[in-house]
Structure 1
Amino acid sequence: MSECCKSGFKWDAQPTGTTTKLGDLPVYVAGDNKSAAILIIHDLFGWTLPNVRLLADHFAKEANATVYLPDFYEGEVVEPDAMSNPEKRAAFDVMAFLGRHNKDKRYPAIVAAAKQLKSQYKKVGAVGYCWGAWAVFKLAGESLIDAASAAHPSLVEKSEIDGLKVPTQILAPETDPQFTPELKEYSNKVIPTLNIPYEYVYFPGVVHGFAVRGDPKEPTQKAALERAKRSTVNWFNEWLH
């Protein structure tokens, strides 16, 4: 994992949702639709990052869904200051963090959350950012969700791309050491053969992490992160309603 996975900007607005439990997991919830839900699988900065909670608020309102953002890191939180403070960023050991929160350890709780939502709602979508995107691909491969969106995926394996079974959207920045040119090419070659709806949205001039940690004060990044939000909203409006 590269430096881009722990870089970015904290957004200033205040989230308006509530916190409760989804099964055994603490969860941030926005919206009150009774038939459609969206599961957000967070990046390295976890479920308390204001940015991802603000995205949950937007999706609840604009995609007309109840949005769930659970804590999949068992209470471990990376402070947002680690994105912009050079000393804190240097002290954040990404590889050790990923060892504590690897796929084998974290996927069972993600599956349980998806199954619970599927038991409660007619349609369930899932969107993953960076670390969370591999899990969205796996959920989509097991038909545990009805639609998938992945923004600048990290840790994705080709077998997880091969197995996709539901409508899938990928939001891909121009520069991404995690979702490499090879993986981009592989996705665009393989997914159209899987007999599922597929949307690949390309974002020039931005880097890995832009959709959840982009700088809203820089014009190119602001335009890209807003377009990413609209793209995800449109995708779920199409496949959840």
Structure 2
Amino acid sequence: MADPSVATKAPEGDALETETETEQGSFISGDPPAQSGAGLGEHCLTDRPTPFGRGPSGELTQLGGVETYISKPADYPHAPSKLLLLLTGATGLDSDNNQIQADNFAREGYLVVMPDMFNNDPLPGSATYEEEKDPSVIEQIKMRAAETAKSFLIDMWLARQTPEKVLPIVHKVIDAAKDEFADAVASGGGIYSVGYCFGGRMTLLLAGEKPNTPAWGQKAQDEEAGAVKNGPFIKAGAIAHATLVSREDFEGTKAPLAFICVEDDQLFPNDVRGYGDKYLKENNVEYEFKTYSGVPHGFGVVGEYQDAKIKAAQAEAFDQMLAWLKSH
């Protein structure tokens, strides 16, 4: 059941439970294993059906030379607004669901900036397409070969999406937003961030004080000058079902963070969460882990589910993230 529990330590893992459901005639795995060794599951590669009657209301524009989706509160700039950086999963900037997610935060009074972190290098196969319902044996063989090729392309794509490549793009948008929306930055006393899946890891990295080296997406310093630390770059952050997080990513964390987690999530393993819990506690960083059971990884992103319990958990996770941001 979608009964969340707040924890300040990683949960004891039982056997991974998966849910399946049939929607619009297709079999959809609730929490499938990763398709490749890269650490992304099907939820990271495709969007859920967009809620009926919903559509984006923001606009695509350039910010710091980066294609960015911006969603503003209806009464902005006449009423104060806080700046929120939304970092997506692999489906990226052009996903209607991601854009609607940004709009949801805008309706709560945040000026939302959602950059194309992948810099015109979209996820392979992210375009919507329909598969044949009853393929022949030969067609099945072709489809399997195509899936193998697609998996290989996804691995290659993901290997390119390192902090060294992605964070400089995000920093360009942050710097531009500080100029373009200085009033919103001042109103919030800094920049807030929410991150989903892949974007969750980036939010975690932005919350930390990191050495100024290419490994962290920053400029290298002269050896004689020594390592210079920068960050944190956000005031507070909320992270939903992060992927690809390593223990090292927690080091240097300073900004308050809330984590929306899926019980026994193979893509955010208990040992990594446990290390993060220990590190944040020992370093007096304000944080919370909230674990949701009976839901698939990726449930926090806008998208339709037939299971009412997953729908309720999705709404509750949004409220949790919103409450954390408002309290900081």
State TM-score, norm by structure 2: 0.66
Alignment of 1:72-91 (within 5 A): 72-78=117-123, 79=126, 81=128, 90=147, 91=150
How big is the shift at 1:59?
0.7
Distance 1:213 1:94 in 2: 23
Distance 1:104 1:77 in 2: 17
The reply on whether 1:132 has 2:132 as its aligned counterpart is: no
Equivalence for 1:3: 41
**Structure 1: any 5+ residue segments left out of the alignment?**
none
Equivalence for 1:148: 237
- Which of 20, 40, 48 matches 2:61? 20
AA partner of residue 10 (structure 1): P
Larger Rg: 2
Distance 1:81 1:223 in 2: 27
Provide, for residues 59-80 of structure 1, a one-character-per-residue CA deviation record: whole Å limited to 9, x for no partner.
Answer: 1112x11001111112233435
- SS of the residue aligned with 1:77? coil
Percent pairwise identity: 26
Contact (CA 8 Å) 1:41, 1:128: kept in 2 or not? yes
Q: Which has the higher contact order (CA 8 A, sep 6+)?
A: 2
Equivalence for 2:268: 179
How big is the shift at 1:231?
1.0
Equivalence for 1:60: 106
Alignment of 1:1-241 (within 5 A): 1-4=39-42, 5-12=44-51, 13-31=54-72, 32=76, 35-62=81-108, 64-78=109-123, 79=126, 81=128, 90=147, 91-92=150-151, 93-118=153-178, 120=182, 121-122=185-186, 123-141=190-208, 142-212=231-301, 215-239=304-328
1:54–1:147 distance in 2 versus 1, CA, 3 Å: same
How big is the shift at 1:135?
1.1
How big is the shift at 1:175?
3.6
User: Which structure: greater helix fraction?
Assistant: 1
Distance 1:181 1:188 in 2: 10
Contact (CA 8 Å) 1:167, 1:198: kept in 2 or not? yes
Distance 1:136 1:105 in 2: 15
State TM-score, norm by structure 1: 0.88
- SS of the residue aligned with 1:205? coil
Paired residues, number: 237
Distance 2:107 2:174 in 1: 21
Distance 2:46 2:158 in 1: 16
How big is the shift at 1:114?
2.4
Distance 2:297 2:193 in 1: 19
Aligned-pair RMSD on alpha carbons?
Answer: 2.4
How big is the shift at 1:118?
4.2
1:127–1:80 distance in 2 versus 1, CA, 3 Å: farther
How big is the shift at 1:237?
1.3
Provide, for residues 30-74 of structure 1, a one-character-per-residue CA deviation record: whole Å limited to 9, x for no partner.
Answer: 113655100011111001111111111111112x11001111112
Contact (CA 8 Å) 2:262, 2:296: kept in 1 or not? yes
- SS of the residue aligned with 2:301? helix
Provide, for residues 106-155 of structure 1, a one-character-per-residue CA deviation record: whole Å limited to 9, x for no partner.
Answer: 11111222233345212211111111111111111021110011111112
Distance 2:278 2:86 in 1: 27
